[in-house]
Structure 1
């Protein structure tokens, strides 16, 4: 069922909706047996999320195919006495339970930490929520785009309605919504490792709001210590390096773009030598003084004109040939044709479709996960294992 075999022998019982399903998704990709508990007849909401349906107008969405691949689906109504008893039986066989709903869902059903720990002292419970277990926003109904906005990572434009293809006032891709799965999986693995060595269970909590806060230390940590920090010599008052043109994006001859990242002397010297512009090396881009901005803008204009003389592919070839830092800018459509993308095992095929593979590579193994299960596809199989 699972993508790799690294977690063979690890069992996870998952009660999750939407993005928190990615916690079990990461674990299934690595080889864990993830048993997904779903409400009978309805299943979890991510199954049909997204503007594009696969296989037909009512087909599954891509998030379901990604986050639930390699899992086993069991229909179980936890609100019934029979369903709750069966869930506890399953949990007793598992290394960890992942709860990915509004905080306290399993507790309200009498199936939370105290009950799980009483029947299996070594159990691990990972509670994944939007806003965490405490604080005034604990019960706030939230969505994926909000977590970044809460933490100052998402800028919104309220001057006009969101343009076509954009929702929530910004076209920026949500970060915390997708990152929470990796943090949750990391927490589960650490707790399971400890439980296997000590026999002690652990209750861990991960929230998307906290992930957004922790995502960029140079923002949150800097703001927390604003009165305890000092301006670092060699940086401009607006927080840039004086050689910022060497860390910028430039248009290319074919209408594309290239990111130039050659601000260290080694790369800058290699670039100027490769393009026959030793004169640019004579411009002082290290001093911060009254003339530093004018010098930087002069270099930027020269580089802007220079990068427009070759295509994106030609610049990439030159960067590779002369050990120059930088690389091509792609749209998603362009990425699919990028030679680096096509040369690596970045995708796998399944049922006539291609999907992005796990970013983890296991040398000697091929990533080949089972398809995301139909609702309740493994109910009889899994429950028969309890008999």
Structure 2
């Protein structure tokens, strides 16, 4: 699906203005969500440098910009303005943007924006009802508040890697990170949720607020059932590979010609599956007849099920499970899932063109809002490509003023 660029927003957040001072992933992921939902997003970048992720490649977009595919995944529906905030004139320009903004998003070190007059107290004095979201590795207080946070570090510190990967006593055992930057992405999602809640609060009361969001807090909160197993049952979670800590069988199995995923969530499904693969007696064995017993006796059960499943061809087992309405399937490669008929039917893959006509393909906003769907108006911009147009339009700066700022290094045109 090809999306036109540079059209007026029709999304539910149309009219909301976002000043995005963030870079890399957690903050930009949040501002992209708000942009998909219709907000106007102004992305402030350092002249001559831009967002760090522009250089996180290969692969790079072959359009002269050398922007990375990584950068492209998190920066659509934004306009890029290159301003040097370290220059007092640049900081003053950014404060003019803040005076019009409903939302400010930043991921500087704690206290890092105060010297530019861009921290929450400074911006609140300019715009009392502003919603200011600060994203850091460890939050605005506590003994780690001044430590930089990175997704890989957070995955390890949070306990996530203690439950991800093969068991220590198996080949390849040991801690393993998730294959996507899940700590950054989930923090961006929580930031968007928190901002929308703050917007609703402001609509009711007229009051803005500061949002303090930490990658570590987010990732620890997502330990969910694993943390609850320890806090409420005294069961210390361990790495189980592809097995589930509570529900059995819920893992991959080897067929005669490949692997199949089996995800049985209740006793009825277990009984139907064992009958289907020719070991119906397992469902009547007291060791395996209910979910709790299967979890305690998982090793014996998996051994017997593995032997039966190994006799099947993968495609035949998947087809049999689909016919029986049992949850299972294959492990898709990324090219396979992006070409999957269900993903095609859902219209998740889109294309939009940059200002020079270069196409950019992307995965769209997954929720389908019946009355006010997400829309895609701007391709991920080149660094600073909207600087002059926006300064002329918003602040009515003259050509001479703009030229003076460019020569002084306060602002820059696109890289």
In structure 2, stretches of 5+ residues that fail to align are 1-5, 166-174, 236-243, 353-357, 397-415
1:265 to 264, 267, 270: 267
Residues 4, 368 of structure 1: 8 Å contact kept: no
CA distance in 2, matches of 1:344, 1:293: 36
1:124 is displaced (CA, Å) by 0.7
Partner of 2:407: none
Partner SS, residue 16 of structure 1:
coil
Residues 314 and 362 of structure 1: is their aligned pair in 2 closer, same or farther, counting only changes over 3 Å? farther
Structure 1 partner of 2:410? none
Q: Does structure 2 retain, via aligned residues, the 8 Å contact 1:127–1:204? A: yes
Which residue of structure 1 aligns with residue 240 of structure 2?
none
CA distance change for structure 1 residues 117 and 88 in 2, over 3 Å: closer, same or farther? Answer: same
- 1:14 counterpart residue number: 20
Q: 1:251 aligns with which of 243, 246, 254?
A: 254
| C-alpha distance 80-295 of structure 1, shift in aligned 2 (>3 A) | closer
Q: Which residue number in structure 1 is paired with residue 369 of structure 2?
A: 362
Out of 314, 317, 320, the residue aligned to residue 315 of structure 1 is: 317
Q: Structure 1 pair 179/323, CA: closer, same or farther in 2 (3 Å)?
A: same
Query: 3-state SS of the aligned residue for 2:20?
Result: strand
Q: Measured at CA, do residues 48 and 122 of structure 1 come closer, stay the same or move farther in structure 2, by a change above 3 Å? A: same
Query: What is the CA-CA distance between 1:122 and the residue it aligns to?
Result: 0.9
Q: Which of 135, 138, 143 is equivalent to 1:136?
A: 143
Match of residue 334, structure 2, among 327, 332, 339 = 332
Quick check: 65-74 or 136-145, which moved more? 136-145
Deviation at 1:136, TM superposition (A): 2.3
Equivalences for 1:17-96 in 2 at 5 Å?
Answer: 17-19=23-25, 20-55=27-62, 59-96=66-103
Q: Flag the 1:367–1:60 CA change in 2: closer, same or farther, 3 A.
A: same
Unaligned segments of structure 1, at least 5 residues: 158-168, 232-238
1:385 aligns with 2:394: yes
Q: Which moved more, 1:124-133 or 1:344-353?
A: 344-353
Whole-angstrom distance in 1 between the partners of 2:31 and 2:18: 7
Q: 1:43: how far off?
A: 1.1
Secondary structure, in 3 states, of the residue corresponding to 2:66?
coil
> Which of 257, 273, 280 matches 1:278?
280
Indicate how the Cα distance of structure 1 residues 81 and 335 shifts in structure 2: closer, same or farther if over 3 A, else same. Answer: same
C-alpha distance in 2, partners of 1:379/1:139? 32
**What is the aligned partner in structure 1 of residue 110 from structure 2?**
103
Q: Does 1:373 align with 2:381?
A: yes
Post-superposition offset of 1:222: 5.2
Question: Could you say what secondary structure the match of 2:21 adopts?
Answer: strand
Provide the secondary structure at the position in 2 that maps to 1:321: helix
Instruction: State the alpha-carbon separation in 2 of the partners of residues 145 and 33 from structure 1.
Output: 31
Return the alpha-carbon distance in structure 2 between the equivalents of residues 352 and 34 of structure 1: 21
User: Is the partner of 2:395 in helix, strand or coil?
Assistant: coil
- Structure-2 separation of matches of 1:292 and 1:5: 48
Give the Å deviation of 1:103.
2.1
Instruction: Provide, for residues 25-81 of structure 1, a one-character-per-residue CA deviation record: whole Å limited to 9, x for no partner.
Output: 211122211100111121121112134222279721223112111101111122222
Task: State the TM-score, normalizing by the size of structure 2.
Answer: 0.77
Question: Residue 206 of structure 1: CA displacement?
Answer: 0.7
Partners of 2:322 and 2:390 in 1: how far apart?
Answer: 52
What secondary structure, in the 3-state scheme, does the structure 1 residue paired with 2:161 have? coil
Return the alpha-carbon distance in structure 1 between the equivalents of residues 47 and 96 of structure 2.
Answer: 18
SS in 2 for 1:105: coil
Contact 1:270–1:323 at 8 Å: present in 2 too?
Answer: no
CA distance in 1, matches of 2:16, 2:271: 52
| Aligned counterpart for 1:180 among listed residues 187, 205, 216 | 187
- Give the stretch that moved more between structures: 86-95 or 367-376: 367-376
- Post-superposition Cα deviations, 1:316-366, rounded to whole Å, max 9, x if no partner, equal 332222111233222334434544334432211234453222222234757
Distance 1:292 1:322, change over 3 A: closer
8 Å contact 1:7–1:32 — kept in the other structure?
A: yes
Corresponding position: 1:115 with 2:122: yes
What is the rounded CA distance, in whole Å, between the counterparts of 2:75 and 2:362 in structure 1?
A: 13
2:186/2:218 contact within 8 Å kept: yes
